[in-house]
Amino acid sequence: MKHLIAVINQKGGVGKTTTSINFAAGLALRGDRVLLVDLDPQAHSTIGVGIEPGSFQASIGDVLAKKKTIQEIVLPTNVDGLFIAPAHIRLDKIEQQLNTEFFRESFLKRALAGLGYDHIVIDCRPTLGTLTINALYASSFIVVPCEMGRYALDGFADLMETIEHVKGNNGPKEGFIRILLTKYDSRNKVSNDWVFQQLEPYKSLIFQTSIRRNEALNQAQMAQEPIFSFKSDCSGAQDYKALVEEFSNLWQNQTSEKN
């Protein structure tokens, strides 16, 4: 079964793009074919896998504008099995144009239908606009990165309400959404306890795996490559490998229960 995974948080700086890149790369390293869809006009996922915005002719914006098919814009990366549908700053203008279209929330889902990938990971922009709604509508699983900090939960209730509205009655939240704690530092006990207290209503939705604060993750972004090729023995690589394993086990168990 194909997994369409949206990585979403309308708050910036929580590790959304870092998670999108390294989660997708981790899935590819297991031998799967993975498509990373950059749905953010800032194009940080595109840049993060070593592709400069000026080096390609067409992007995901052209697909949403119905000028190109997804197959025409997909590019290979330096990670075997990992491909990217790149973004460009023009995507911001395309989003504005979509606002007047009928059934605009379904454009991305229709564009991704029938592709031969084992997993599709969508890196969303940090807003709850039309692009993010498209990602939610298309996705079968949602990852919400949440930074371990005082302001990490700002707007979190709005995000959960939007997810609930878009996904409707397509099953319990436990079945299609998980919160990923990022920039975790066990030494910050007071801050950690506060965040866990705020997240108590969503306790069942939190991944067991958390992403520890790790400078190598920042350096890998500067080097424009996933953490696995930049520094495979660091805690960041270990954490994202564990996240991929937990996700795979979670999905397998849910599929077994449905059958």
Residue 258 has pLDDT above 80, yes or no: no
The DSSP secondary-structure symbol of 208 reads: S
Nearest Cα neighbor of 17 from 217, 249, 229 is 217
Minimum mean pLDDT range among 13-17, 149-153, 176-180, 239-243: 149-153
Q: How far, in Å, CA of 168 to CA of 59, rounded?
A: 30
- The pLDDT value given to residue 259: 52
Q: How far, in Å, CA of 44 to CA of 60, rounded?
A: 14
Which SS3 state, helix, strand or coil, does residue 230 take?
helix
Region 41-57 average pLDDT: 93
Region 67-90 average pLDDT: 96
Q: Which residue has the higher pLDDT, 105 or 245?
A: 245
- The pLDDT value given to residue 102: 81
50 phi and psi angles, rounded to 5 deg: 90, 15
Q: How far, in Å, CA of 34 to CA of 214, rounded?
A: 25
Alpha helices, DSSP H only, in 183-233? 189-198, 215-223, 227-230
- The pLDDT value given to residue 253: 72
Is the CB of residue 228 less than 8 Å from the CB of residue 213? no
196 phi and psi angles, rounded to 5 deg: -60, -35
Give the residue extent of every domain in the chain.
3-258
- The pLDDT value given to residue 254: 65
Q: How far, in Å, CA of 70 to CA of 221, rounded?
A: 25
Question: Topology of 3-258 in CATH?
Answer: Rossmann fold (3.40.50)
Is the CB of residue 120 less than 8 Å from the CB of residue 135? no
Q: Which residue has the higher pLDDT, 98 or 233?
A: 233
Q: How confident is the model at residue 158 (pLDDT cuts 50, 70, 90)?
A: confident
Q: How far, in Å, CA of 22 to CA of 49, rounded?
A: 10
Q: What is the pLDDT of residues 90-106, one digit of tens each?
A: 999 999 988 888 888 89
223: number of Cβ within 10 Å: 15
Minimum mean pLDDT range among 37-41, 178-182, 189-193, 253-257: 253-257
